[in-house]
Amino acid sequence: MRSILDRYAPAPAFDEFAAADGQPRDHYAPLAATLAGISSADFRHRVTTVNSVLLQRGVTFTVYADARGTERILPFDLIPRIISGAEWDVISRGVAQRVRALNAFLVDVYGDQRALREGIIPRELVFSSQHFEREAVGVRPPHDTYVHVSGIDLVRDADGTYLVLEDNCRTPSGISYVLENRDVLKRAFPRLFAGYDPLPVDDYPRRLRSALLASAPRNALEPTIAILTPGIYNSAYFEHTLLARRMGVELVEGSDLFVRDNVVYMKTTRGPARVDVIYRRVDDDYLDPLYFRGDSALGVAGIFDAYRAGNVTLANAVGTGVADDKAIYPYVPTFIRYYLGEEPILQNVPTFDCSDAAQRQHVLGRLDQLVVKRTAASGGYGMLMGPMSTATERADFADAIRANPRDFIAQPVVTLSAHPTVVDEGLAPRHIDLRPFALLHGDTVDVPPAALTRVALTAGSLVVNSSQGGGSKDTWVLAD
Amino acid sequence: MLSRVAESLYWMARNVERAEDLARLLDVTATRSFDRLEDALPRWQAIYTVAGITPPENAADRLQTVDDVVFDTTSRFSIAASVRIARQNAVGVRAELTTEVWECINGLYLFVEAQSARAVGPDGTSTFLRSVRDTAQAFGGICDATLAHDDAWEFLRIGRFLERARMTSRILRAVEDDDVAPHVWQLTLEACCASSPFARARRQSADPVEALAFLALSPVFPRSLRFCVREIDAALHMLSGAPAGTFADNAERHSGRIAASLDFAGPFDLVREGARPFAVRLAAQLDELGSAIVSTYFPAVPVG
């Protein structure tokens, strides 16, 4: 029998599975033994089964570029990614530290602005951020918590060192894939779990609920939580329904809410019902047509007044996007030292700030070697992957950078670590990243062992975003 | 619960029930048409009337009817459209549904969407229609067995029984007064899934008056008009908390009136009024009840 593992050749990058000598790393050894006994045909059969299960379950996302709003399943790769307990210890402590610093930065930016006065970060860089909300200055959210839920994207460089690629402090998504991937894999392919006892992921909704309850306004006795969704056409709608169901809270759309006397209510069959905590999956811009985009039909008129009056917790708070602006990102290690008095546990990827003339010149001279990102963008949209770009694309980016330098950063290409992934021919290395999620309330950060591994399914590709042809893997965090 | 959610549950249940009832009606009619060709054509016309779809100008045959009533997605009354609407409502309230309920309706949707008149073929109609019927019935059972019987479930119950009552009234309405051949009543009973229950209850073949009385007035047959309206009335009282026999809102006033008129009617009253006028009146009263439910529980502008 030809096993699925037979022809696996490690990548010219940090290979998660195989060490330099080609042998499986210790924490992958039981999986390697299991895979050696599974044929390619058997594997393909499982893949078909899993895909139809995911479609039947409706674990789908909507592709914006597709005018028909087609629902697609996120490709799910059946080979699990495994993280040792020692690695996870570093990751979880590093992520928690980073989130505390990001929150402290937001408290400062919308409060005293001490770091700005002391020149820790240039004032104009903060105020020019597209996601800096002037209206939120001077508004203190309950418990000074801004970033209730965040997703910190990590990659591993050629040495296997974990680096922070970007912070997601607005409405990071992906946790539903973590929950569903584990559930589906356990049912479809229980054999793979032989020799492992990964930490469970399914208490994430409970932990999120606890964090949100702890963030309720102080005057709320029995807080009511609702999840605010942009609606069924949002790409992450499935996730919103899954979380609402598992958390046992209402899933509301903007039109289900109204504000009277600075209090937010849901329209129910038994009349208005007060809402205390809103886990909103709607961007700031669309939250309140009275303050932000007037044409927004997704938001609730007056909700910002209710927030300002301290009558409702918005998670995340208004204005958190300034903390995940890619031009602010280079300063996060500085924030960790400045606000926490600690040394960063996780390092940044070196980053060039195009608003700085010297760094801009450096970038413009090396566009073919760098990754250029728009500072306000996310989801892998609007990027230039230098080594794979055409001369025309580089020229367009050069013009755009010269016109609006503040809108761009550049980074050296990080050759992400690679992981065995199912392809037509068997298993092949594909590049992956890792998005752990962090839940913050007060000074407490909870980093559940429920992280999303995204995988670039195209050979050689370094772009893992689902909107750009990425898939996902079940991610096992081990206890030891 | 959210008014929007209540409304979506109501329409989800109505459309699943509609898909089930239409599938059964089509299957029964098709099956019986093969050895009763002489009156097959008016029967096909009647299905359009029951479904609320405009029939083609030329007399429709079996395949044409299946194409129109099952697959025509330009109409919002076809089976495919009903399933699509039901699923769309389910998507909007997915957080309220159990996994089992969601997967059932999603599975039905994926199944129907993957089909076409051509794919089903001239010999596949019955198999296809029975699959739709079975899944729709399973949906009701899964709702009952996996959802808490709270307000959300009451809205499902209201939707299911209102649509079922409407379909029964429309099937009765399609029976012409002078069209009383026993086999037509037999077909009508079968279209309402009432053949065996009727035979067991009455121990006789389809006598027109008895059959009409059974479909309209049986207190125990779950597709009779009386049974359905009783269910709606009970669900409305669970929601409002008003004691049985009283009303707290306009919806309950309508359901109570219809229920009382059926509770205290006998076969003789139906004969005197005439089967068709009776069915026409009931269909109109049920539509009024539907409007009253919508204005009571799903107002465009919130109350309070």
Residue B156 reports pLDDT greater than 60? yes
- Chain B residues whose CB is inside 8 A of the A270 CB are 1
Could A269 and B4 be called an inter-chain contact, meaning their C-beta atoms sit closer than 8 Å? Answer: no
Q: Please state the domain extents for chain A.
A: 350-413
Q: How far apart are the first and last CA of chain A?
A: 34
Chain segment A142-198, per-residue pLDDT in tens: 999 999 999 999 999 999 999 999 999 999 999 999 999 999 999 888 999 999 999
Q: A58 touching B, CB under 8 A?
A: yes
Tokens of A206: 């409970």
At B44 the three-state DSSP class reads helix
Could B6 and A269 be called an inter-chain contact, meaning their C-beta atoms sit closer than 8 Å? Answer: yes
Mean pLDDT of A420-449: 94
Tokens of B16: 């699943």
Cβ neighbours for B35, distance < 8 A, ≥ 6 positions apart: none
> Searching chain A, which residue's CA lies closest to the CA of residue B92?
A232
CB A203 within 8 A of CB A448: yes
> Searching chain B, which residue's CA lies closest to the CA of residue A227?
B95
User: Residue A325: what pLDDT?
Assistant: 92
Alpha helices in A118-247 (DSSP H): 123-127, 175-188, 204-214, 237-247
Could A256 and B239 be called an inter-chain contact, meaning their C-beta atoms sit closer than 8 Å? Answer: no
- Chain A residues whose CB is inside 8 A of the B91 CB are 58, 232, 237
- Residue B302 binned pLDDT confidence (cut-offs 50, 70, 90): very low
Residue B205 reports pLDDT greater than 70? no
Lowest-pLDDT choice from A64-73, A413-422, B135-144 = A64-73
Lowest-pLDDT choice from A74-78, A139-143, A319-323 = A74-78
Which of A258, A269, A270 to mutate against chain B (most B CBs within 10 Å)?
A: A269
- Residue B304 binned pLDDT confidence (cut-offs 50, 70, 90): very low
For domain A350-413, give its CATH number from 3.30.1490.270, 1.20.1250.20, 3.90.1640.10, 3.40.50.2000: 3.30.1490.270
Q: Which amino acid appears at position B227 of this protein?
A: F
Element (H, E) at A257: strand A257-260
How far apart are the CA of B161 and the nearest CA of chain A, in angstroms? 20
Residue B303 reports pLDDT greater than 60? no
Tokens of A129: 């951020």
How far apart are the CA of A205 and the nearest CA of chain B, in angstroms? 13
User: Residue B38: what pLDDT?
Assistant: 61
Could B95 and A56 be called an inter-chain contact, meaning their C-beta atoms sit closer than 8 Å? Answer: no
Could A245 and B94 be called an inter-chain contact, meaning their C-beta atoms sit closer than 8 Å? Answer: yes
Pairing outcome for strands A76-83 and A470-477: parallel
- Dist CA B163 CA B169 (whole Å): 10
> Searching chain B, which residue's CA lies closest to the CA of residue A57?
B103
- Dist CA A423 CA A427 (whole Å): 6
Closest partner residue to B303 (CB to CB) among A238, A252, A271 is A271
Average pLDDT, chain B: 89
Mean pLDDT of A296-308: 91
- Dist CA B21 CA A282 (whole Å): 40
User: Residue A201: what pLDDT?
Assistant: 96
CA–centroid distance for A426 within its chain:
29
User: Residue A126: what pLDDT?
Assistant: 95
- Chain A residues whose CB is inside 8 A of the B88 CB are 232
- Dist CA A50 CA A52 (whole Å): 5
Cβ neighbours for A375, distance < 8 A, ≥ 6 positions apart: A129, A130, A325, A326, A327, A406, A407, A408, A409
Element (H, E) at A225: strand A225-228
How far apart are the CA of A56 and the nearest CA of chain B, in angstroms? 6
Q: What's the full length of chain B, in residues? A: 304
User: Residue B39: what pLDDT?
Assistant: 63
- Chain B residues whose CB is inside 8 A of the A245 CB are 94-97
What number of other Cβ atoms are within 10 A of residue B35's Cβ? 7
Mean pLDDT of A110-125: 95
Rounded to a whole number of angstroms, the CA Rg of chain B reads: 19
Q: B3 touching A, CB under 8 A?
A: yes
- Dist CA A231 CA B92 (whole Å): 8
Q: pLDDT over 70 for what percent of chain A?
A: 97
Residue A322 reports pLDDT greater than 70? yes
User: Residue A377: what pLDDT?
Assistant: 75
Mean pLDDT of A52-71: 70
Could A268 and B2 be called an inter-chain contact, meaning their C-beta atoms sit closer than 8 Å? Answer: yes
> Searching chain A, which residue's CA lies closest to the CA of residue B87?
A58
Does the model's ipTM exceed the 0.85 cut?
A: no
Q: A25 touching B, CB under 8 A?
A: no
> Searching chain A, which residue's CA lies closest to the CA of residue B108?
A56
Among A474, A359, A351, A452, residue whose Cα is nearest residue A405: A359
Tokens of B220: 């125990």
Mean pLDDT of A35-62: 85
Mean pLDDT of A113-133: 94
Residue B180 reports pLDDT greater than 70? no
Mean pLDDT of A298-325: 94
- pTM for the model stands at 0.88
Q: B300 touching A, CB under 8 A?
A: no
> Searching chain A, which residue's CA lies closest to the CA of residue B91?
A232
Lowest-pLDDT choice from A135-149, A229-243, B29-43 = B29-43
Among B12, B2, B18, residue whose Cα is nearest residue B297: B2
Chain segment A26-41, per-residue pLDDT in tens: 999 999 999 999 988 8
CB A200 within 8 A of CB A190: no
Could A253 and B4 be called an inter-chain contact, meaning their C-beta atoms sit closer than 8 Å? Answer: yes
Mean pLDDT of B135-144: 97
Could A245 and B95 be called an inter-chain contact, meaning their C-beta atoms sit closer than 8 Å? Answer: yes
Q: A117 touching B, CB under 8 A?
A: no
CB B287 within 8 A of CB B293: no
- Dist CA A419 CA A453 (whole Å): 10
Which of B1, B2, B8 to mutate against chain A (most A CBs within 10 Å)?
A: B2
- Chain A residues whose CB is inside 8 A of the B97 CB are 245
Could A268 and B110 be called an inter-chain contact, meaning their C-beta atoms sit closer than 8 Å? Answer: no
- Residue B124 binned pLDDT confidence (cut-offs 50, 70, 90): confident
Mean pLDDT of A262-279: 94
User: Residue B177: what pLDDT?
Assistant: 62
Could B95 and A269 be called an inter-chain contact, meaning their C-beta atoms sit closer than 8 Å? Answer: no
Average pLDDT, chain A: 91
CB A301 within 8 A of CB A106: no
Q: Please state the domain extents for chain B.
A: 1-147, 161-304
At A2 the three-state DSSP class reads coil
Q: Which of residues 97-136 of B touch A (CB under 8 A)?
A: 97, 99, 102-103, 106-107, 110
CB A228 within 8 A of CB A253: yes
> Searching chain A, which residue's CA lies closest to the CA of residue B96?
A245
Closest partner residue to B110 (CB to CB) among A56, A238, A240 is A56
> Searching chain B, which residue's CA lies closest to the CA of residue A269?
B3
> Searching chain A, which residue's CA lies closest to the CA of residue B107?
A56
Chain segment A76-97, per-residue pLDDT in tens: 999 999 999 999 999 999 999 9
